[in-house]
Structure 1
Amino acid sequence: MAMSTSDLLSKLNPTQHFPLHSLLHYCSSNVSGFPHSPSHFTISQFGHGQSNPTYLLEVGAEGSVVKRYVLRKKPPGTLLASAHAVDREFQVLQALGTHTEVPVPKVFCLCNDPAVIGTAFYIMEFLEGRIYIDPKLPAVAPETRRAIYLETARTLASLHSSNVDSIGLGKYGRRNDYCKRTIERWAKQYIASTSEGKPARNQKMFALIDWLKSQIPPEDSSGATAGLVHGDFRIDNLVFHPTEDRVIGILDWELSTLGNQMCDVAYSCLPYIADIGHDKVQQGLEVSGLPEGIPSLPEYLAEYCSLAGRKWPLAEWKFYVAFSLFRGASIFAGVYSRWVKGNASGGERARYTGKLANELIDAAWKFIEMKSVLPQHPPSVANARHYSKELVTEKDTLGHSNGRRFIPSQKVLTLRNKLIKFMEEHIYPMENEFYKLAQSESRWTVHPAEGELKELAKKEGLWNLFIPLDSAARAKKLLFGGSNNDLSSDANNLLLGAGLTNLEYGYLCEIMGRSMWAPQVFNCGAPDTGNMEVLLRYGNKEQQREWLIPLLEGKIRSGFAMTEPQVASSDATNIECSIRRQGDSYIINGTKWWTSGAMDPRCKVLIVMGKTDFNAAMHKQQSMILVDIQTPGVHVKRPLLVFGFDDAPHGHAEVTFENVRVPAKNVLLGEGCGFEIAQGRLGPGRLHHCMRLVGAAERGMQLMAQRAVSRKTFGKFIAQHGSFLSDMAKCRIELEKTRLLVLEAADQLDRHGNKKARGILAMAKVAAPNMALKVLDMAIQVHGAAGVSSDTVLAHLWAGARTLRIADGPDEVHLGTIAKLELQKAKL
């Protein structure tokens, strides 16, 4: 059952009284619309909540309508360090209310002068609406329960989508190491609250603190979860419209800061985990039984993740929930300490908070010990969206308006804008210099500016953007046991990237594709991305330490050796290179070509695919093995040209292996796992090519348009010729269709994995290069002779796109996959 905001009022607590005349004088001078000589002025206290005392001010002049305001102040007496900062509450409410659509009450003034009423305070508008105290929502219709929970998820997603830099909250807190700092802070608060023995210290709390410190997930300022954090986001801190199931105000911002937003998400989910009652903690909704209409925990999370652009939080969910329970326990211990001293704002209810603190600690340990806490993948959110409102965001720079499927999150838009700026300021101006070196006698050397740009990209947080958060988490756990103590913060950031999904990375990878030189500057170039994915997914601890970390740091580069000149390698079962076991080693013999990256002077390791057992089942004959390129018997014979481009200093090489002896420990995953690894590598890796091709086509469109409005033929600009306008419009249509197809493929890859998404992946791999070739060919035609020369990037972009119709798997193979899947549907 909902309570109106007015129902929460109680008589003024005599221990919290303040001088009314002083307050009246201040309000008359500082609050908009406040009467200067009121005939009516009363104060009531809101009894709900355990933090900063909150009051309703009712004021009116003779014959006028009574106006209502809310005053929120610091409690009196000695307070814990950094607690009850009402000035910060005022700051965040003012920023959100002025610059965003996040539902918050309007604030009028902040008073830091204790002489007025004894402590600092601020005044805001009063919101008449509904507040749901009990998360089980008793006496509420099932459809309303569902709407309320999904509206709560939507509101949290809206809050988390706020761009703190653009609304003046960029320095509202430190965005990195939020969990680490918060654990340390609340641990200190717990110790301070229990220093006098009331409540008594619980040794399980200290064990919980140690466990949390050992499980802290990767965090940095540009990570997937960094942003504005409410800190106490739950249903009873939301004001719902009096008659509509929508939030009109988020209250109680005392704990707000910048940091890891998944902590907010977990805290909002606590009713599913633990029922925190008046005087005891019981089993949460997921165990005790969901009241009819309330969505399941996975549904609630899926709705939030979908709207906020977040990844399914499976890997770290135990940490985030235990973190929330720990913090709740520390807060309750502090409330109880204040109750003992006589200055708790929650009244008599505060006397039970010491007991609640200990029960929350027990609940945290019970949850940690559970075997399964979430399904492997999020459920469908289609039904949830039916009841939810569309997330209100500004029209984004990609041209997709509200309510459509592919709207990048604020985090992705921020990274995208940074990428575009980086490209315009650093990459495009250097392209001619890179090409000059690549065409000189010293072309197999690296331009010194490339290293400088890489360091700048690292500082900008534009490094290793392709690495999914789950892959990084797995590698970190394997390498360092999940501890932050074994990895420097710089290396940690390199390992994590930005924690993006394939869909999120698609918006960024496209930008890099606009220049042949860009991907490697951000450590997002092939074949290194695919090779790093292989090591992240399939490498063991020793292999990752030796090769993965240097690749992540950009200290070395790598090559991928699969294709062979003697056989049709589009059917990998044809591969003839042998990898024979001999004692503690493998002996490799064979010839590879189109080994991308092998010519690069920084190339230190090759991933070689060959056959370890010629007599095994067809798809169990192949294995992959790591080969140091300096190993005796490895001969890089020659660079191979692509329509005249040798792609120096990177290059594609023919490489022979003559009795190359490699330690047996270098085999990846195990003998016969070559096809399994290839499938895991070629889903995301080859989709990256499609994303970059969309970017290459976009660059072609841009150059085409610039040329058309600046060059005249037969007395008028090219842009004034009707045939050109028609062809250009068709190019734009093809580009947009392909972009949506690639984004759909990325989305399905995220949700369903390589195998189930193979049909849409095959479509993207056919469509993207063909579309790019059409657009770039048109751009070349508009440029005339300049288009086929090296004076523009068009010829190189076209050559790369044409090659990918083969290197990314021949069209015929992908078309066969698509057709077979269609025929399978007919048989069902």
Structure 2
Amino acid sequence: MAKLTSEMTLDKLSSSDLPFDVVSLLNYCRDHIHGFPSSASPSLSSVRQFGHGQSNPTYLLEINVDGILNRYVLRKRPSGKLLPSAHAVEREFKVLHALGTHTKVPVPKVFCLCTDTSVIGTAFYVMEYLDGRLFLDPTLPGLEPHRKNAIYRESARALASLHQIDTDAIGLGNFGHLGNYCKRQARRWGKQYMASTAGGMPKRNPKMLELISWLHDNLPLEDSSGSASGLVHGDFRIDNLIFHPNEDRVIGILDWELSTLGNQMCDVAYNCLHYVVDYASDKVGQDKGLEEAGIPEGIPSMAEYVAEYCSAAGKPWPAAHWKFYIAFSLFRAASIYAGIYNRWIMGNASGGERAIHTGIKADILVDYAWSFVAKSAVLPERPPSDHIQKHRDQNDIEDTLEEGGKFSFSQRVVGLRNKLIKFMEDHIYPMENEFYKLALSPSRWTVHPVEEKLKELAKKEGLWNLWIPLDSAIRARKLFSNGKIQNSLGEGGGQLLGPGLSNLEYGHLCEIMGRSVWAPQIFNCGAPDTGNMEVLLRYGTKDQLEQWLIPLLDGQIRSGFAMTEPQVASSDATNIECSIKRDGDSYIINGIKWWTSGAMDPRCKLLIVMGKTDFDAPKHKQQSMILVDAKTPGVHIKRPLMVFGFDDAPHGHAEVSFQNVRVPTKNILLGEGRGFEIAQGRLGPGRLHHCMRLVGAAERGMQMMTERALQRKVFGKLIAEQGSFLSDIAKCRVELEKTRLLVLEAADQLDRLGNKKARGTIAMAKVATPTMALQVLDMAMQVHGALGLSSDTVLSHLWATARTLRIADGPDEVHLGTIAKLELRRSRL
């Protein structure tokens, strides 16, 4: 639900005002919600009802335990006699659970569903409280024009993301009937209207009956064919969206009471009703929509908004049937208002006195429907071509044109990208020689003092932990809402959780960091720390987060990932031989690991170790991961391993032995036998980060190559004037651009489809990117001659890193096998 702001009402209820038994509710929640405060008593609870909305009553439960405020949201069926098929909270719970579990669609997490009416008198479910902004007024008063535009664009994109869901894949294939949605809905809401007006309150409107007939006579062909069908929200509008507290993006879509499968263009039209009529206003007579009253600066026109949606969802332009969809939406809204007024008369409308005018509003909506039908034109025959660019500043337009197309920069990424480029130019590149000097000195296993200063500066610049994906940032804020974790990080995790970018957005920034081997760690975006932090964010307990994640997020410590072993082919994780044996309240670890990157760093305090807890279990259930304090007795850092002569001090790649290392059982991650599962979750984003950085390394190679070619003469001409060079650099640019697009496509699929479905494209990127980077960097070294092979430039180190990544996180052959299997599977379907 929404943050408590002046834009929504919350009525605090005393125990005598509550329509349900709080004691019974809390007892049920303790038994059915994991982590629900067990020490709370009803006397410590406050219950407030959300005044916004006219459907299922919704309450904010606040439970204060030892000074910590726990918030939950309860949504229940109304009491009393209800219209048939209305207020099905069970369906709401089902769709929220499916979307929250299997997709990236922003919805609140649901905790439990109760259909036992003996608990509080009606069915209900409990979900998380979302801390954000709710906009009740579609004119968005108080916001600057560019932010109004961003809010509307994000609303359209959120709806598009919902409409792109594969319902069969997430268990909602039987959530409704796809064909003839509008026909069935017209019949259903017509019956609802007739039932609501059967007693004469409100009085039945003959224009409504005519509208029902008109709708049946003008059904679009696409409705009967089901070609426009999929998951529909049913009540998608801006006041059912929760936006991030500070950023203009949707973090939660609410009120799923009317969700089903059907014609998705109905969702789009319903979300555009405020352009036609102010249907949400409580004041009768103030009903002009935005197009009649005047669209405020920054808010797109209805045509521009629909174009934004169609572009994001890949939907055809709906001009031919737009009159029907708007009229249908107004008809349905009128039927809903008639039902609300009927419930108000009976005394069980959830909106209280706000429902008093809904009978009159129903008739007003019918009049607006007929007025809209009578218009000569409602949408242009073609979508506006410049709606996306209209409100962007000139720099944003230039950057978008430079990058181009599907993977152009968002406005937010443009700002971060510009800051990151400036930081690299001002602070990273000038320090590279100093970092290398220390790395080659006898004191190379120490940290350069400037590094820590630059890390603090990066935090202040908002360039910290950019890698944390949005879903992980949201999950972390939930975990950080209680106890010592909140105290350590401050409200909501503060700046340490980063801006919450998508993988695609981060790709544009990660590439820039990849231009220097020293840069990622300055921004706390270096491997293996990012992968280890992602593991903790996804799978760690609160104790593990408090002990290890917070100092990692803050950059106070570093970490290593111990999986690879010298005696077995470790690209096949089932070969792992390191043993993790239970011994009372401890696990005993024995084994040898190598290429444990980061273990040589003096700041390395944590090792995530993969080993086998059960050698006799099914082969993918034998492995487990466990957290090990690097200072635990029996952990021996034996030696650093060299990569083409680079030991990467002070980071290092260590050989580590574990001899009877005893760690507490609480250090196990997720549980015994879950190691393979964790590894698969960790490797998708991590592999892609490597690819993103390699694109940046290749880009720097191109830059150094062209600068050298324009300065160096051979046989009387600049290298840039040599025919062979021109051909080679052109080929390098072609390969780099092809690979960048592949990496960005993999990132986009990771965002939209998840790790499993994106694995084929990630595998392709993992094969193609190091090969491309090696080609470009080899050409750059060739242009530099002997200098290119020396340590006087970064080229040899960048090349060594690229060559390493043809083996790290799986050799080419493993990924080629994945690609081939998926290709053959497609051919067999």
TM-score (norm 2): 0.60
The letter of the residue matching 2:416 is: L
Counterpart in 1 of 2:743?
A: 742
1:266–1:813 Cα change, 3 Å: closer
Counterpart in 2 of 1:695?
A: 696
CA offset at residue 813 of structure 1? 0.9
Question: How many residues are paired up?
Answer: 571
**1:317 to 2:253 alignment:** yes
**1:648 to 2:654 alignment:** no
CA offset at residue 473 of structure 1? 1.9
1:189–1:335 Cα change, 3 Å: farther
CA offset at residue 417 of structure 1? 1.0
Counterpart in 2 of 1:753?
A: 754
CA offset at residue 317 of structure 1? 2.7
Name the CA distance, whole Å, in 2 between partners of 1:429 and 1:802: 26
Counterpart in 2 of 1:465?
A: 466
Name the CA distance, whole Å, in 2 between partners of 1:485 and 1:332: 41
**1:392 to 2:388 alignment:** yes
The letter of the residue matching 1:317 is: I
Deviations along 1:436-462, one digit per CA (max 9) or x if unpaired, are 111111111111111111111111111
1:491–1:791 Cα change, 3 Å: farther
The letter of the residue matching 1:413 is: V
- Matched residue SS, 1:601: coil
- Matched residue SS, 2:421: helix
Is contact 1:575–1:610 with CA below 8 Å preserved after alignment?
Answer: yes
- Matched residue SS, 2:807: helix
Counterpart in 2 of 1:718?
A: 719
Deviations along 1:169-222, one digit per CA (max 9) or x if unpaired, are xxxxxxxxx975xx343479999xxxxxxxxxx96358957769947999xxxx
Is contact 1:464–1:524 with CA below 8 Å preserved after alignment?
Answer: yes
CA offset at residue 491 of structure 1? 6.9
- Matched residue SS, 1:661: strand
CA offset at residue 268 of structure 1? 12
Name the CA distance, whole Å, in 2 between partners of 1:254 and 1:479: 31
- Matched residue SS, 1:792: coil
Counterpart in 1 of 2:49?
A: 204
Deviations along 1:263-321, one digit per CA (max 9) or x if unpaired, are 99679999x9x99x9x99xxxxxxx999967986569989999xx9x999896334999
- Matched residue SS, 2:445: coil
Is contact 1:639–1:651 with CA below 8 Å preserved after alignment?
Answer: yes
Name the CA distance, whole Å, in 2 between partners of 1:338 and 1:458: 52
The letter of the residue matching 2:566 is: P
Name the CA distance, whole Å, in 2 between partners of 1:590 and 1:601: 22
Counterpart in 1 of 2:452?
A: 451
Counterpart in 2 of 1:574?
A: 575
- Matched residue SS, 2:702: helix
The letter of the residue matching 1:795 is: S
The letter of the residue matching 1:623 is: S
The letter of the residue matching 2:451 is: E
Name the CA distance, whole Å, in 2 between partners of 1:483 and 1:599: 30
Name the CA distance, whole Å, in 2 between partners of 1:764 and 1:186: 46
Is contact 2:480–2:492 with CA below 8 Å preserved after alignment?
Answer: no
Counterpart in 1 of 2:560?
A: 559
- Matched residue SS, 1:607: strand
Name the CA distance, whole Å, in 2 between partners of 1:765 and 1:750: 17
Is contact 2:477–2:492 with CA below 8 Å preserved after alignment?
Answer: no
Q: After the TM superposition, which residues 672-683 of structure 1 pair with which residues of structure 2 at under 5 Å, given as runs?
A: 672-683=673-684
Is contact 2:154–2:250 with CA below 8 Å preserved after alignment?
Answer: no
Counterpart in 2 of 1:548?
A: 549
Counterpart in 1 of 2:411?
A: 410
Counterpart in 2 of 1:819?
A: 820
Q: After the TM superposition, which residues 371-390 of structure 1 pair with which residues of structure 2 at under 5 Å, given as runs?
A: none
CA offset at residue 232 of structure 1? 6.0
Deviations along 1:312-362, one digit per CA (max 9) or x if unpaired, are 9896334999xxx9xx9xx999977999xxxxxx9xxxxx99x99x96757
Structure 1 gaps, min length 5: 1-177, 192-201, 219-224, 235-250, 281-287, 340-345, 347-351, 366-384
Name the CA distance, whole Å, in 2 between partners of 1:257 and 1:485: 35
1:189–1:532 Cα change, 3 Å: closer
Name the CA distance, whole Å, in 1 between partners of 2:153 and 2:351: 19
The letter of the residue matching 2:439 is: A
Q: After the TM superposition, which residues 241-256 of structure 1 pair with which residues of structure 2 at under 5 Å, given as runs?
A: 253=141
Q: After the TM superposition, which residues 33-432 of structure 1 pair with which residues of structure 2 at under 5 Å, given as runs?
A: 183-186=4-7, 204-205=49-50, 214=71, 234=138, 253=141, 297=232, 316-318=252-254, 361=351, 391-393=387-389, 396=397, 400=401, 404-432=405-433
The letter of the residue matching 1:185 is: S
1:299–1:447 Cα change, 3 Å: farther
CA offset at residue 530 of structure 1? 0.3
Is contact 2:767–2:815 with CA below 8 Å preserved after alignment?
Answer: yes
- Matched residue SS, 1:620: coil
Name the CA distance, whole Å, in 2 between partners of 1:771 and 1:450: 30
Is contact 1:231–1:253 with CA below 8 Å preserved after alignment?
Answer: no
**1:762 to 2:763 alignment:** yes
1:298–1:514 Cα change, 3 Å: farther
Name the CA distance, whole Å, in 1 between partners of 2:664 and 2:797: 40
CA offset at residue 679 of structure 1? 0.3
Q: After the TM superposition, which residues 435-450 of structure 1 pair with which residues of structure 2 at under 5 Å, given as runs?
A: 435-450=436-451
1:588–1:436 Cα change, 3 Å: same
Name the CA distance, whole Å, in 2 between partners of 1:269 and 1:715: 60
Is contact 1:603–1:629 with CA below 8 Å preserved after alignment?
Answer: yes
Is contact 1:620–1:673 with CA below 8 Å preserved after alignment?
Answer: yes
1:301–1:809 Cα change, 3 Å: farther
Is contact 1:624–1:673 with CA below 8 Å preserved after alignment?
Answer: yes
The letter of the residue matching 1:768 is: T
Name the CA distance, whole Å, in 1 between partners of 2:518 and 2:463: 15
1:436–1:797 Cα change, 3 Å: same
1:780–1:676 Cα change, 3 Å: same
Is contact 2:624–2:671 with CA below 8 Å preserved after alignment?
Answer: yes
- Matched residue SS, 1:405: helix
1:786–1:300 Cα change, 3 Å: farther
Deviations along 1:658-695, one digit per CA (max 9) or x if unpaired, are 00001111111111111100000000011100000000
Name the CA distance, whole Å, in 1 between partners of 2:131 and 2:146: 7
CA offset at residue 785 of structure 1? 0.9
CA offset at residue 428 of structure 1? 0.6
The letter of the residue matching 2:781 is: I
- Matched residue SS, 2:620: helix
Deviations along 1:24-79, one digit per CA (max 9) or x if unpaired, are xxxxxxxxxxxxxxxxxxxxxxxxxxxxxxxxxxxxxxxxxxxxxxxxxxxxxxxx
1:569–1:718 Cα change, 3 Å: same
Counterpart in 1 of 2:359?
A: none
Counterpart in 1 of 2:102?
A: none
1:298–1:731 Cα change, 3 Å: farther
Q: After the TM superposition, which residues 489-500 of structure 1 pair with which residues of structure 2 at under 5 Å, given as runs?
A: 489=490, 492-500=493-501
The letter of the residue matching 2:388 is: V
1:496–1:397 Cα change, 3 Å: farther
1:205–1:804 Cα change, 3 Å: closer
Counterpart in 1 of 2:808?
A: 807
The letter of the residue matching 1:533 is: E
Name the CA distance, whole Å, in 2 between partners of 1:472 and 1:560: 22
Name the CA distance, whole Å, in 2 between partners of 1:527 and 1:205: 45
The letter of the residue matching 2:811 is: P
1:269–1:715 Cα change, 3 Å: closer
Is contact 1:640–1:651 with CA below 8 Å preserved after alignment?
Answer: yes
Is contact 1:462–1:522 with CA below 8 Å preserved after alignment?
Answer: yes
1:493–1:311 Cα change, 3 Å: closer
Counterpart in 1 of 2:781?
A: 780
Is contact 1:392–1:402 with CA below 8 Å preserved after alignment?
Answer: no
Name the CA distance, whole Å, in 1 between partners of 2:236 and 2:786: 56
1:257–1:539 Cα change, 3 Å: farther
- Matched residue SS, 1:608: strand
1:653–1:267 Cα change, 3 Å: closer
